[in-house]
Amino acid sequence: MRLTGRRWLGYASITAVAFLTVVLLVPLTLSRWLREALFVRLYTLIMYFMADDLVPVRKQVMSYMDAMDSHDDCLRKEGLLRVLEIGAGYGANLPYIRRKIKYSNVDPNKEFDTLLMQELAKYKGVHLEDSICGHGEDMHSLPDGHFDAVVMTFVLCSADDGHKLLQEVKRVLTKSREKNTRFLVAYPSTISYTSKVLQERRVATTLERSTP
């Protein structure tokens, strides 16, 4: 495998951040804010250096929404979908959404909020309905059968309880008359953030919910 200059720089940067994390181990243990702020910067850095690998995945996953119709009559007439993204981070998927949507986000890290709002402002077709600070395993504030599509990237591999997360996803997905409700997932083949950078294989898939 031939490593590009960007990839070498990415490895070096991540190594430096890992060293800094060890140095700051005690403050990080004591401060949730510091942990979340450092994670935002580390995650953003990793996504930048992995862009060559991830952009095709993001484009493919987001493209599945192009042919979908909303279960909501009013939204369908306007050509809109109601979409939930779990763990949007700073909004890395937003540039690849090619249609108008009603958008909600659930993310446990409030330190992403400013970056996400800045990214949302660039895309007039993405109308923010709700932004919730919380975990996908517990989305009790969201009603049953509310969303036409649920999107997750790099979430299942780091969820505390993947089974519970998927149960919540099924709950908030609509039972569509057209039976084309989509759960859109992009994920790597490993579970740790370091492995995400080092692992070359990437998987993009959609899981289509079967509805009665």
The pLDDT value given to residue 186? 53
Average pLDDT over residues 75-103: 95
What contacts 187, CB < 8 A, 6 or more positions away? 152, 153, 154, 155, 156, 157, 203
Which residue would you say has higher pLDDT here, 113 or 207?
A: 113
Cα radius of gyration (the chain): 18
**Tokens of residue 42, six digits:** 């580390």
Question: Which pLDDT score, from 0 to 100, does residue 183 have?
Answer: 55
Q: What mean pLDDT is reported for the chain? A: 77
pLDDT in tens, 153-182: 878 777 888 889 888 988 999 875 444 445
pLDDT band at 23 (very low <50, low <70, confident <90, very high): low
Residue given tokens 């149960």 in the structure block: 167
Q: Would you say residue 144 has pLDDT above 80? A: yes
- Give Cα 200 distance to the centre of its chain: 19
Task: Give the pLDDT band (50/70/90) at residue 92.
Answer: very high
Please check the confidence at residue 103 and state whether its pLDDT lies above 80: yes
> What secondary structure letter does DSSP report for 147?
B
Domain locations in the chain as residue ranges:
5-52, 58-208
Question: Which CATH architecture fits 58-208?
Answer: 3-Layer(aba) Sandwich (3.40)
Full-prediction pTM beyond 0.75?
A: no
Position 104 confidence tier, pLDDT thresholds 50, 70, 90: very high
Q: What pLDDT, on a 0 to 100 scale, did the predictor assign at position 139?
A: 96
Mean pLDDT value of segment 42-51: 78
Lowest mean pLDDT among 80-94, 106-120, 128-142, 193-207: 193-207
Q: What are the CA-CA distances from residue 89 to residues 16, 73, 142 (Å)?
A: 22, 30, 19
Give the model's confidence band at 40: pLDDT under 50 very low, under 70 low, under 90 confident, else very high: confident
**What is the rounded distance in angstroms from the CA atom of residue 35 to the CA atom of residue 82?**
32
CA distance 12 to 120: 31
**Alpha-carbon distance 150 to 140, whole Å?**
15
DSSP structure class, residue 159: -
Q: Write down the pLDDT at residue 61.
A: 85
